[in-house]
Chain A
Amino acid sequence: MNILTIALRNARKKWVRTLLLLLVFTLGVVSIVSLNFVSRVVGEGLEKKLVSFGANILVSPKSEKLTVSYGGFALGDMLFDVAYLDERDTLGRIDTIALRKNISVIAPKLVVMDRVQGKAVAIVGVRFGQEKLLKGYWTVEQGAIPGEAPVPRAAAVPAAPMPADAGSHPVSVRPALPLSSAKASAPAAHPGNGVLVGSAAASKLGLKPGDAVPLGTSQMIVTGILAPTGSEDDNVLLADLGFVQQAVGRPGKANFVEVAALCSACPIEDIVHQIGAALPGVEIKTLRNIVEQRMYSVLFVKKLILSVSLVILLTGCSMVGISMLSAVNERKKEIGILRSLGFSRRAVFSIFFAEAASIGLLAGLAGYLAGYLVSFRILAVLELGDGAHLAFEPLHLAATALILALLTSLASLVPAWKAAAIEPSEALVTL
């Protein structure tokens, strides 16, 4: 028995009040802890999904650019001999960096300018598999992505992408792709000479699925039209990189490589640095905008959770504060007795302080443990996969308990101070 016995016995006597305070705080901590656990998992998942909104690192060969202006007349930028990247070498080297696991998409590209029906248009060679990961927002309006089955409604009628006028085209290699891939819906057949046309380009050039488009000495067949994306893809023709390389006589070459890196865990600068080291003499740019936008969503979730947590904690602390304040008024006489027995102001203060701190400590411990368990349940219910990677960290448990104890102690400062200020005579003497 010592001074803490007084706080303890009182808490036990007023067990309903004590339990209620504990419950409120524990529930608060449970919400905060599980929100954090879940948000960590969801945040990672979210970022992975956000990758489909574009690359954030651009790898391109160093090229000399000269801005020519003469006598105040701008002649535009002159690009000295366009440089190319070797596709296999570049991809191979990016594969070796230490932070490879943070890279989700590597999309090489070769851009060729050509004239189709007399109109200048860019033909972009891409690896459709990677490109689709990068451009989750793509929807194919008519037909399908080269090498893939058309969207279900079209799949029902295998011949659908070939309208009647298809026969008017001089080259008849076309049935080979759409037909063969129409049956096997999954892992695409080789896209071959298929071409995916941006919406603006399609209307400008009057292209529709099945149309043939010349490229160098070869022919491409339109397999699908993209719905408007609002991006540069609207104005270009997208074909398989290998096919474009062959058709324009640049086998194995690419103009640039777009990389999508997950950077919630590590700074993107590190990834850029590592790619730079693996690819000397190559220019690596961060697409800041995209990085920031992507991080914004993740950070937004974090901020939201932080504010919710703050509100919960503030509510809990005010509850402790108010409840203690009324307890101090109720217990004026007790305080008077203690003071008349020689208890110092500090001793009275610490009785109230200790009571509040232990409520915080207990709520922190119980809340963290319960929150940890609840997180698994939430993740299961939300079907966010197994929470197997929710690591239980004893250090966090201790930190949570300590922080909670600190917060409730802070909340009890004013009531405890008021208690300490009570004079024994005013509390005890009956008039």
Chain B
Amino acid sequence: MTEATTASAPLGTAPLLEAPILEAVDVTKSFTQDGTPTQALKGVSLSVAPGEFVSIVGRSGSGKSTLLSVLSTLLRPDSGQLSYNGLDLTRATEAEINALRHGDFAVIFQFHYLLPYLTALENTLLPFMRGLRPVSGAQRKRALECLERVGLADKGHRLPGQLSGGEQQRVAIARALVKDARILFADEPTGSLDSATGATVMELLGQIHKDGLSVVMVTHNEQYASLSDRVVRMADGLVAG
């Protein structure tokens, strides 16, 4: 296994015994900006077991966000392999990718992106608003449950502008929960929050993880990283160990 050297987290329960749900092998990605190419990922391998909580840490610019984007299918790698549950994501069709983004994968970001003109409840329901079919009563009920789960049961009617940063991030988490995702990708989810608010968000992520979700989280906060099953350190586009 490629991650054999990675530090095991204190809470770890021998995740490597299970077959990985998500596996990246020797992934590279480069960007060209103003004519100069940057090699953001120089051959990164990483696997995530079902129900595992992996933290990715490293300096700014080391390629953490790029790796998370590649893992969550938001970015296509230049080379290397990427598979989810046996599906080769480098060869998947656009429809397969969309289905994955709609179902098993959920992403939250540092700037808890919500649609500013939809209420918290509507933002939570967003995954069900893909087509012309109206949102069902059952879906609405589920969204309300998810809002309750993140502690926003009474704020579903509010617009994002009427919510605090931490509340907005929790709505984003509720949106990830509503679709019953299997892996949650989080790119510095507490990065723009004060420590108290950040702690509640981390607590929430911990609970979700306990419920069986795999979590892949990029963070700057070593303390939060230490809560995970495993910490992956990145430096200069490579996994440092």
Contacts and interface: CB of A to CB of B under 8 A. Distances in A.
B101 interface: yes
Interface string B130-145: 1111110000000000
B115 A334 contact: yes
B40 to A, nearest CB: 10
Interface string A1-24: 111111001101110000000000
Interface in B54-79: 61, 65-66, 69, 72, 74-75
A424 interface: yes
Contact of A345 (B94, B127, B132, B134): B94
B87 to A, nearest CB: 15
Nearest to B98: A342
Contacts of B65: 429-431
A227 B136 CA distance: 85
A188 B70 CA distance: 97
B14 interface: no
Interface residues of B, number: 40
Contact of B130 (A3, A333, A337, A430): A3
B183 to A, nearest CB: 13
B150 to A, nearest CB: 17
Interface in A401-431: 423-425, 428-431
Interface in A343-366: 343-345, 347
Interface string B105-128: 001011101111110001001111
Contact of B74 (A2, A343, A428, A431): A428
B129 interface: yes
Chain B interface main SS type: loop
A425 B131 contact: no
Contacts of A9: 115, 117-118, 122
B133 A2 contact: yes
Contacts of B109: 428-430
Contacts of B113: 333-334, 336-337, 428
B16 interface: no
Contact of B187 (A334, A343, A423, A429): A429
B131 A347 contact: yes
B99 interface: yes
A340 B107 contact: yes
A430 B111 contact: yes
A354 to B, nearest CB: 10
Interface in A169-212: none
A341 interface: yes
A6 B115 contact: yes
B102 interface: yes
B100 interface: yes
A3 B118 CA distance: 12
B75 A423 contact: yes
Nearest to A429: B65
A109 interface: no
Interface string B156-200: 000000000000000000010001000000010000000000000
Contact of B131 (A2, A12, A337, A338): A2
B73 to A, nearest CB: 9
B43 interface: no
Given A1-B125, A425-B69, A10 B103 contact: no
A294 interface: no
A339 interface: yes
Interface of B: 61, 65-66, 69, 72, 74-75, 94-95, 98-103, 107, 109-111, 113-118, 122, 125-135, 175, 179, 187
9 contacts: A2-B131, A5-B118, A336-B113, A341-B175, A341-B179, A345-B94, A347-B130, A425-B75, A430-B187
Interface of A: 1-6, 9-10, 12-14, 333-334, 336-345, 347, 423-425, 428-431
The 4 closest A-B pairs by CB, nearest first: A342-B102, A13-B117, A342-B101, A425-B75
